[in-house]
Structure 1
């Protein structure tokens, strides 16, 4: 029982700093756990007590990444790497109520200004940037071809 209490206290400390997914906590605590059963029991206890929630983590993560100018594809990929299931990812992205087309345009304007790309080479460079940020092809096209960007 001593190992479980230590794991629990370390997990509480981690969760006090920021939200963590179940997999993140598991990865961080695995080295301290003697057997896998103790770690699973601690993670289950944290979830039952409402101290750890993948839903809450995903919502927080999505908000932070939207503020950083990332698109839904990149956010979804990173959530998957953090162990969040696809259903929770979809719910978090829906709940954030972001117009991804306008978000792509805002990121483009912030980085490259409001004028459309001057030539094909510049268009491709800006498109690569927005794609890397996680915006879909349609969102990238909207951002690069929107003539109203000067009013942004």
Structure 2
């Protein structure tokens, strides 16, 4: 006997029970399963009205998952790809800026742990941190090996 087809609302609640989703992301997922006559936008509005779908919670969740491994530019780009914009994005950027140098030092310490002695190794370490989305200032500070010094 085949499994019963889930309604669009049941699918949305199932997705949201697994993890937080942005409105844009959940809308894309639900659009694949929408049948004629289903109004995905109305369902998303209903979920937001009942606080089951929250852009703020999604943003905090994404930042919490990514902050230990990635820099500000990478996290902000991912937030933008999920439809977070405007003043909310500016506030999130400001919060991320406060901890970027410390996060870069932690990532560098976990991956390398020792200050590079030759230029090839130094470039490798810099590329690694830059690809993770850290700013040049944070990378320079982390590459010194002493997170207490922030005078570059």
* Same fold by TM-score greater than 0.5: yes
Structure 2 unaligned blocks of 5 or more: 1-5, 148-152
- Written as runs of structure 1 = structure 2, the 5 A alignment for 1:48-59 is 48-59=49-60
| Deviation (angstroms), 1:22 | 0.3
CA contact under 8 A between 1:80 and 1:86: conserved in structure 2?
A: no
- Written as runs of structure 1 = structure 2, the 5 A alignment for 1:55-66 is 55-66=56-67
CA RMSD of aligned residues (A): 2.2
CA contact under 8 A between 2:72 and 2:97: conserved in structure 1?
A: no
Kindly provide the CA deviation profile for residues 37-70 of structure 1, in whole angstroms up to 9, marking residues without a partner as x: 7000000000011000111100011011113x11
CA distance in 1, matches of 2:29, 2:90: 26
4+ long deviations beyond 3 Å? 34-37, 92-98
- 2:130 corresponds to which residue? 131
My pick for the range that moved more, 58-67 or 91-100, is 91-100
The number of aligned residues is 143
- 2:83 corresponds to which residue? 83
Q: TM-score, normalised by structure 2?
A: 0.84
